[in-house]
Amino acid sequence: MAQKKIGKQTFQFSSVPVITSWASVVGPKEGEGPFGEQYDLVLTDSLAGEKTWEKAEQKMMQYSVELALEKRGLLPKDLDLYLAGDLLNQIICANFTARFLNTPFLGLYGACSTLAQGLCVAGILLEGGFAEKVGVSASSHHNTAERQFRTPTELGDQRPLTAQWTVTGSASFVLERVGTGIMLTHATIGKINDLGVSNAQDLGSAMAPAACDTISTHLEDLGRSEADYDLIVTGDLGFLGSNILTELLTQKGISAEKIYDCGITIYSPEQDTHAGGSGCGCSAVVLAAHLIGCLQARFYQRILFVGTGALLSQISAFQGESIPCIAHAVVLEAGRGDR
C-alpha cells in the first residue's frame, strides 16, 4: 500500500482521484461580478422563487448538484456518497439537498472551509477504495447568513469597513476514482488557530493565521515551496485578512506572491463589498466557475486550494469567546497524469 500520510497533516492520493464535473449557481450580485459569465446559473433574484432565503439557498445547492451530475450524465443514485455543508444552523441546506438526492450522506461543518473539507474527505474515500463516485457541495446566502450571524436584515445596519459580504452561491463537484478531469493529489487537514480575535465583523483577520498555518505545514510536509504552485488560493480572507496572511507568510520566509483570495476576486471594486466576499459559497463558486477552468485550459498546472473557516456561532460571540479558525487544503492539478 502506498504511503498515505506525509509529514504531520498531509494525505497523499497516489491513485489520483479526479474532479470530473462541477457546477456553480449564484445570486444576482455575484452575477454582476467579474465571473458573471462563467457561472452556470445566475439567479435573477435572491429568493429564487421561494418564500424564504433559507429555502432559496437550499434550492441553489440542489440546482448546483443537479447541474454537476447532469453535465457528467449521472443520476443521484450513481453517487456512492454525498458530502455537504453550509453555514446555516444544523446545516439545513445540506440536509434537505441530501433528502432530495437520496444518496448516502455525511454532513460536514467547517464554516467557509466546508468545500475544502469536503474535497479532503472525498479524496480519502476515493483513494481508500471506499467509493467510486462522490458528490461534494457547499453553499452560502448573504441574507440567511446576515440575519443568522449578525442583525435582522430589515434593520439595515451600517456594515463596518472590516466586514465581508457573504456570497450568495453554491457549487457542487463530482469526484471519481477513475476518469478524466482535474487531479486531486494531496489534502492537508487543518488545526484550529485562534489568536484572540473576537470581532465577528472582521473574520478575515481572524482566519489569516489558520491559512498561514495550513499553507506552511503543507509545504513543509511535502518538502515543497510556494514556487511549486501556480497559485495558492485562499477561500475568503478578503483584503484585510490577505494583508495579514502576507505578513505572516513573509515572517516564515514564504513568499506571498502566489496568494490569490477568492474573497477579493469574486466582486469588482465598484461593487463595494468593503473587505471582500465570504461564506462557504465564495471559494466554492470561484473554484467551480473560474479556477477549475484555468486548470482545464492548462493556464495553471497546479494550485493549492485552501478553504478558510471561522468556527464561531452567534452564541459563542455573545458569550465573549474569541473565534476559532481552521483551514483545509487540497492540491489540484491539470489533467490526469499517468501515475
In the complex, which residues of this chain contact its own copies (CB under 8 A)? 1, 4-5, 9, 11, 51-52, 54-55, 80-81, 85, 87-92, 95-96, 98-99, 102-111, 117, 120-121, 124-125, 127-131, 148, 189-192, 194, 311-316, 319, 321, 324, 326
Nearer to its own copies (CB atom), residue 244 or residue 312: 312
Nearer to its own copies (CB atom), residue 30 or residue 57: 57
Smallest separation (angstroms) from its own copies to the CB of 316: 5
CA-to-CA dists, residue 259 to 10, 147, 227, 302, 323, angstroms? 20, 31, 11, 13, 23
Smallest separation (angstroms) from its own copies to the CB of 95: 4
Smallest separation (angstroms) from its own copies to the CB of 265: 26
Do 298 and 334 touch, CB atoms closer than 8 A?
yes
DSSP string, 30-68: HHTSTTGGGSSEE-SSTTTTSSSHHHHHHHHHHHHHHHH
Nearer to its own copies (CB atom), residue 104 or residue 337: 104
Q: Kindly state the cell numbers that stand for 330.
A: 487540497
Q: How far apart are the first and last CA of the chain?
A: 14
Smallest separation (angstroms) from its own copies to the CB of 257: 27
CA angle, 291 then 292 then 295, to 5°: 90
For the chain, give the longest Cα–Cα distance: 58
Nearer to its own copies (CB atom), residue 90 or residue 225: 90
The backbone torsions φ and ψ at residue 305, rounded to the nearest 5 degrees and listed phi first, read: -105, 115
Nearer to its own copies (CB atom), residue 170 or residue 242: 170
How far is Cα 326 from Cα 310, in angstroms, rounded to an integer? 7
Nearer to its own copies (CB atom), residue 74 or residue 92: 92
Smallest separation (angstroms) from its own copies to the CB of 78: 12
Smallest separation (angstroms) from its own copies to the CB of 13: 10
The pairing of beta strand 182-188 with beta strand 18-26: antiparallel
